[in-house]
Structure 1
């Protein structure tokens, strides 16, 4: 399929972009660390390699960032990037040179977090337009001195960026950061020249844009990440029409508008529970108000067809991708070469990107094991093996599929044995949970790659020592996965639960399998114990509620803590609204004769839930390791196990294990 719209060049300011795809700014924690941990570092070589892989993959431009404009905003996340100290310039040069080598433009996003700043480590006070918190700390209302300092800080950082080789500057005025706080009546309650009317609330942004333009000159791109809709259905906030008016006011100051929706916190990085293209309406609204200024759309634009359609319908002039390009840095080149079916799609699962950031860890990707490790695993590092070997992979789950496809890419002759009549492993049932169908892409892409690369896939083929050795393997990768159990240990709940040996007490995989075959198979009243804090229990509870069953989810946890905040905010309300009863902070003490006794972990009050048809226990599974242990003794070639066959863990670990095991052959 031809995607002619996204491959049209476009002028942004005085610079020509070679196509319409931009890699947007986002936290990664790939900053070169400060020797004093906790203090800001610099964007440099490592982050540059990460961006350069996307430039090599064909994007028109990358936007590095966010970058803190001053010391009073540098502590929102650990290892933030220092943009104000001239020492950042040689680090910038290492970054920009890598991107320019592949013909892409590179811009730097400048950010002040304002009321979102946190003083946990720095002990600094947050500042904002008013005493209106955006996170957990109340900010100081900015005075004229503070305002002047913020303007000057943007100028200094812009000059440093240009000195370091950047082609442009993006000023952050979205997602609840400082300039967005000034724009929005949700945060700005001032009565001076910076508050009240829309013109006044735009004043600080206008002053910063003018000052930056004067400092960097006309050849450098100066654009804005602009709020497109605060999405505040109750209480004050900016509507899409308000944001279109703001864009008209800024039009003579900005070379482009990169349009986001929502404010800070939950809602910024939405999951697979949100529809594709959900933010395009805001970009379209702004585009109609500024027809002569490039407008970029963002938010869950996943495929080239979706991106091309946005341009074709004149909803925006360019497409800002983040997670889609994290998942596949070659997204653009594959689309240009009519290989869109080979694109490794973002699943919106958030587990390894945004989820990692919320735990103060660098991002990676469930789909792409190279993220953050580009020096070792990035583009150009996966070559043919010196000697082609006969490799047997046992198990067709995500780890086994990744191992098989990667080994075949390296030129090995690969046989994949799968005992079931379908590939995908545990993803077969995980993707059946409500709102989670897109995670099947983790399996589907690898299934397609195995077919494309000529892997000999043998379905319905149980493996044993004799049958594996009969294939004369020169290397064996065991990816036999794990098994669900109702007795597995949990960090959060004593296991096993007394009474769980009853045959009407089952594990979650059996429950889901039976439910998919027959919605009435579990009876009318079901209690689920969630000892993990992940999606399985809540998803199962929603499915039961949708089928008009009495569905209660009991958990000792306050929230499904194994999920990122965005997923928590999506999965729990939809299940409760469907009719699932949510009982957090409760442990299951005992299972009796079709009743369960629970106890509140805070009050220690006991309660009995009676007339239960089925109890479902969601806890950690156990590895299927017997075949590996037998092969390790019997085989004369190297045998390695991966994924859940080692320990039952999240799917990104299985993919990573499989990738590294195949690289090592």
Structure 2
């Protein structure tokens, strides 16, 4: 589509500015701050989206306006004057690349911890604990409300003075909306007592002072839930009524939310992960737009250009949020302009970006290693200088395909040996689970890119050393992955089934099943869910003190729901050590390290998930003929410099191994290994 007919590429007037297109990265917090400031890493992350053609990038999900709203996950400290020059530098960088930039502002209320920051008590309209952050809040007093109103005004002033284009007030499950939500306001004073007038008394004070501090030319929006989608919560009709009152005070746009976020289960419906319908709240956003007649934006699992285009073309929204999609590929709009829509790296909805934040780390795309690392890793692979080299990659999983793609972009001649009849490795296996089917796009995108780059991918090709050497390679990358590990058992490794056998359908456990997961991530949960849905009696055993500790807050509710629906028995703090046959069944030893005691279960089937062990035989066979003897200069790897280790003068090729061929890890680690190694070769 050309710019003349593509609805996504049409400009849009908002307040005193004209956005160059309708595509937005909505307010979110990647947790890239340093001391609460948006320094170089934070700035480059937003600049990259501006370089990629986006109309508006929004930061600070959410920037906190007061010290008694301590950062829940790397939030910006907008209550400090020192933030202004950092914001100014970021605004300059984004503007220089043609995009607008805004900041979301909030007081988190009870949606944070009493035991963080300055250890000031968190506040709320009523003393109701939030399940997700587990804080018991102090009831806000009149003087609390006075100082917070001023804090909002000061924060707005800082954003305006820094040269941003606007602010967005956060009002879903934070302090402001906790006053108007019947779920959280039980006050019997002028700020409660049931009436909308009273429940809005404090929020309207905030909005008026923000509007005044903003001035006539500075945009002020609000991101709010108009239907909390929970029993006893704010309902749609009252939500629209509230929104109309807010708009009357000078709100310039609304970013529409449906739902409530006080628990992880509720959050997973507001920000839907993979395995859920695409754009589940888009029609709702269109309903709000029709009711309010104000510019509306919306973002919730709008991962693909076709859905985004539909949202604009059919008038459901004015601005479409593709936030996680831009974490996967910040150059979406540029690729649309260039007629390369089919080359957009897809967001697969894995929500690794969000899960990492909720694990107290920072946002990462499951299959774009450059996101959040713009200070040292480019999104576009530059061509190599000098004579192209011949590279052989062994293994067509995520590590191998990423290595092939990057080496192909560099201009090298690349051959991939893949033993299976189709590339994909463990991703192809994982995507066989209905909840994780979208993962296959990680493979499909790389296969399409490799085809464009003339990478020679050979399937049903089990590579041995002679096959590799016959290609006369200059570079050999071993990405052979791993195989399920059952060696942790002291007895009975041959009697158990692994999660792979379940996922691929080779084994369908029957009778009474014990599933042992000592990995704590998606593979075990995927396979266990598949077993549970087959109707057998299932006990899920783990040595961890929590279920699936490596599955983050957006994804685990789906598994927990399936476990609850199928009456899965969960046993924590127990380690399977041995399995033996007994009377035609299997006797399982469960060791509890707290009680220092072993007890037994008798079941019909045992399935285990304990990560993988590297398939490294070919690698070690190739080591003697390599110039580097397999050694990696780790400092050069970290600095994206060429690998120049020379330990064997007779060696005819450089040899490296990546991904699970090194150790059992995840998709992001495999892609990251491949990218930072191959971009410098």
Say whether the fold is shared (TM-score over 0.5): yes
Provide the rounded CA distance (Å) in 2 between the counterparts of 1:555 and 1:142: 42
Aligned-pair CA distance for 1:380? 5.2
Q: 1:307-349, CA deviations, whole angstroms, 9 ceiling, x for partnerless residues?
A: 1112233222211122111011012222343422212112222
Query: 1:304 maps to which residue?
Result: 305
Provide the rounded CA distance (Å) in 2 between the counterparts of 1:295 and 1:328: 24
Aligned-pair CA distance for 1:604? 7.9
Provide the rounded CA distance (Å) in 1 between the counterparts of 2:137 and 2:567: 39
Aligned-pair CA distance for 1:497? 4.7
Q: 1:612-632, CA deviations, whole angstroms, 9 ceiling, x for partnerless residues?
A: 0x3211112101112112212
- The yes-or-no answer on 1:354 pairing with 2:325 is no
Of 378-387 and 178-187, deviating more is 378-387
Query: 1:37 maps to which residue?
Result: none
Look up the SS of the partner of 2:515 in the other structure. Answer: strand
> Cα gap change, 1:475/1:232 in structure 2, threshold over 3 Å: closer, same or farther?
same
Of 621-630 and 330-339, deviating more is 330-339
Counterpart mapping for 1:522-541 below 5 A: 522-541=509-528
Provide the rounded CA distance (Å) in 1 between the counterparts of 2:473 and 2:655: 10
Aligned-pair CA distance for 1:289? 1.6
Aligned length: 638
Counterpart mapping for 1:184-203 below 5 A: 184-195=181-192, 196-203=194-201
Contact 1:170 1:222 (C-alpha < 8 Å) held by counterparts: yes
- The yes-or-no answer on 1:595 pairing with 2:597 is no
Q: 1:128 aligns with which of 119, 124, 129?
A: 124
Counterpart mapping for 1:511-660 below 5 A: 511-513=502-504, 516=505, 521-557=508-544, 558-588=546-576, 590-593=578-581, 594-597=585-588, 599=590, 601=592, 608-610=600-602, 612=604, 614-635=605-626, 636-660=652-676
Contact 1:24 1:63 (C-alpha < 8 Å) held by counterparts: yes
Query: 2:51 maps to which residue?
Result: 56
Query: 2:639 maps to which residue?
Result: none
Q: 1:86-117, CA deviations, whole angstroms, 9 ceiling, x for partnerless residues?
A: 22111112111110011111111111111123
Provide the rounded CA distance (Å) in 1 between the counterparts of 2:432 and 2:392: 29
Root-mean-square deviation over aligned CA pairs:
2.1
Contact 1:294 1:317 (C-alpha < 8 Å) held by counterparts: yes
Of 430-439 and 193-202, deviating more is 193-202
Contact 1:400 1:479 (C-alpha < 8 Å) held by counterparts: yes
- The yes-or-no answer on 1:313 pairing with 2:314 is yes
Look up the SS of the partner of 2:493 in the other structure. Answer: coil
Counterpart mapping for 1:458-537 below 5 A: 458-487=458-487, 495-502=488-495, 505-513=496-504, 516=505, 521-537=508-524
Query: 1:410 maps to which residue?
Result: 410
Query: 2:162 maps to which residue?
Result: 164
Look up the SS of the partner of 1:259 in the other structure. Answer: strand
Provide the rounded CA distance (Å) in 2 between the counterparts of 1:145 and 1:337: 55
> Cα gap change, 1:628/1:160 in structure 2, threshold over 3 Å: closer, same or farther?
same
Query: 2:640 maps to which residue?
Result: none
> Cα gap change, 1:90/1:417 in structure 2, threshold over 3 Å: closer, same or farther?
same
Q: 1:437-478, CA deviations, whole angstroms, 9 ceiling, x for partnerless residues?
A: 011122111111111211111111121222212211111111
Provide the rounded CA distance (Å) in 2 between the counterparts of 1:641 and 1:247: 56
Provide the rounded CA distance (Å) in 2 between the counterparts of 1:190 and 1:600: 51
Provide the rounded CA distance (Å) in 2 between the counterparts of 1:459 and 1:476: 17
Query: 1:244 maps to which residue?
Result: 240
Aligned-pair CA distance for 1:605? 8.4
Query: 2:81 maps to which residue?
Result: 86
Provide the rounded CA distance (Å) in 2 between the counterparts of 1:284 and 1:197: 28
Query: 1:285 maps to which residue?
Result: 287
Q: 1:114 aligns with which of 88, 109, 133?
A: 109
Provide the rounded CA distance (Å) in 2 between the counterparts of 1:47 and 1:334: 23
- The yes-or-no answer on 1:255 pairing with 2:283 is no
- The yes-or-no answer on 1:436 pairing with 2:432 is no
Q: 1:556-598, CA deviations, whole angstroms, 9 ceiling, x for partnerless residues?
A: 3331111112222111221331454433344335423223345
Provide the rounded CA distance (Å) in 2 between the counterparts of 1:542 and 1:137: 32
Look up the SS of the partner of 1:115 in the other structure. Answer: coil
> Cα gap change, 1:160/1:529 in structure 2, threshold over 3 Å: closer, same or farther?
same
> Cα gap change, 1:479/1:46 in structure 2, threshold over 3 Å: closer, same or farther?
same
Query: 2:222 maps to which residue?
Result: 224
Query: 1:401 maps to which residue?
Result: 401
Aligned-pair CA distance for 1:381? 6.3
Aligned-pair CA distance for 1:164? 1.0
Look up the SS of the partner of 2:565 in the other structure. Answer: helix
Aligned-pair CA distance for 1:152? 0.8
Aligned-pair CA distance for 1:64? 1.3
Look up the SS of the partner of 1:73 in the other structure. Answer: coil
> Cα gap change, 1:596/1:285 in structure 2, threshold over 3 Å: closer, same or farther?
farther
> Cα gap change, 1:241/1:339 in structure 2, threshold over 3 Å: closer, same or farther?
farther
Aligned-pair CA distance for 1:609? 4.2
TM-score computed with the length of structure 1 as normaliser: 0.91
Q: 1:61-99, CA deviations, whole angstroms, 9 ceiling, x for partnerless residues?
A: 01110211122213323x432212222111112111110
Q: 1:136-159, CA deviations, whole angstroms, 9 ceiling, x for partnerless residues?
A: 221111122111111111111111
Query: 1:446 maps to which residue?
Result: 446
Look up the SS of the partner of 1:228 in the other structure. Answer: strand
Provide the rounded CA distance (Å) in 2 between the counterparts of 1:608 and 1:284: 57
Provide the rounded CA distance (Å) in 1 between the counterparts of 2:354 and 2:13: 32
> Cα gap change, 1:589/1:410 in structure 2, threshold over 3 Å: closer, same or farther?
closer
Of 267-276 and 461-470, deviating more is 267-276
Provide the rounded CA distance (Å) in 2 between the counterparts of 1:367 and 1:398: 9
Aligned-pair CA distance for 1:5? 2.3
Contact 1:241 1:285 (C-alpha < 8 Å) held by counterparts: no
Q: 1:456-509, CA deviations, whole angstroms, 9 ceiling, x for partnerless residues?
A: 11111121222212211111111111111222xxxxxxx31533333xx22221
TM-score computed with the length of structure 2 as normaliser: 0.89
Provide the rounded CA distance (Å) in 2 between the counterparts of 1:250 and 1:386: 62
> Cα gap change, 1:553/1:497 in structure 2, threshold over 3 Å: closer, same or farther?
farther
Look up the SS of the partner of 1:616 in the other structure. Answer: strand
Look up the SS of the partner of 1:553 in the other structure. Answer: strand
Contact 2:275 2:437 (C-alpha < 8 Å) held by counterparts: no
Query: 1:38 maps to which residue?
Result: none
Q: Structure 2: where are the runs of 5+ without partners?
A: 627-651
Contact 2:124 2:178 (C-alpha < 8 Å) held by counterparts: yes
Contact 1:538 1:553 (C-alpha < 8 Å) held by counterparts: no
Contact 1:108 1:161 (C-alpha < 8 Å) held by counterparts: yes
Look up the SS of the partner of 1:224 in the other structure. Answer: strand
Contact 1:325 1:331 (C-alpha < 8 Å) held by counterparts: yes
Look up the SS of the partner of 2:255 in the other structure. Answer: strand
Contact 1:541 1:552 (C-alpha < 8 Å) held by counterparts: no
Provide the rounded CA distance (Å) in 2 between the counterparts of 1:624 and 1:228: 53
